[in-house]
Amino acid sequence: MELHQQRRMTRQRRVILEELAKVTSHPSADEVYAMVRRRIPRISMGTVYRNLDVLWESGTIQKLVSGGSQMRFDANAAVHYHVRCVRCGRVDDVAMDPPARIEERAANVTKYKILGHSLEFAGVCPACKKREATGQGTD
């Protein structure tokens, strides 16, 4: 983030960003709200939602949207991929580089002006795999 944007950043926005940067769990807005309330007890849920949107629209954070589940947020705004557990909803980063020139190739095929891309894998996390293997957590 450039210096000019840092000066204009409100205290609430700065605390939200700081709290989000402390975790790699890709928290939901409700979880971010709970984290921020420890530092700003009187902050409202609406303020957290609005500031998460501002941070996302400015490209400072990522918003992870998956069909039928809660939005989650990531302080790492660089292009990277995620994997979501279909059992518990846990989200983790996938340590792999994007395929070479993927956006350029998509633009050539579709004739769209590509602004960015996201990729999310679906799977079962290690904790859920372990529970399933031991027979725990099954109904």
**CATH number of the domain residue 9 falls in:** 1.10.10.10
The model's pLDDT over 88-115, given as tens digits with 9 standing for 90+, comes to 989 999 999 888 899 999 999 999 999 8
**pTM of structure:** 0.78
Q: Domain check: are 35 and 88 in the same one?
A: no
Q: Domain check: are 102 and 71 in the same one?
A: no
Q: Domain check: are 32 and 83 in the same one?
A: no
- Gap between the Cα atoms of 51 and 80, Å rounded: 22
Whole-angstrom distance between the N-terminal and C-terminal Cα of the chain? 47
Q: Are 108 and 87 in contact (CB under 8 A)?
A: no
The model's pLDDT over 70-90, given as tens digits with 9 standing for 90+, comes to 899 999 998 899 999 999 989
- Gap between the Cα atoms of 93 and 74, Å rounded: 10
Region 7-16: mean pLDDT is 88
Containing domain of residue 46, as a range?
A: 1-78
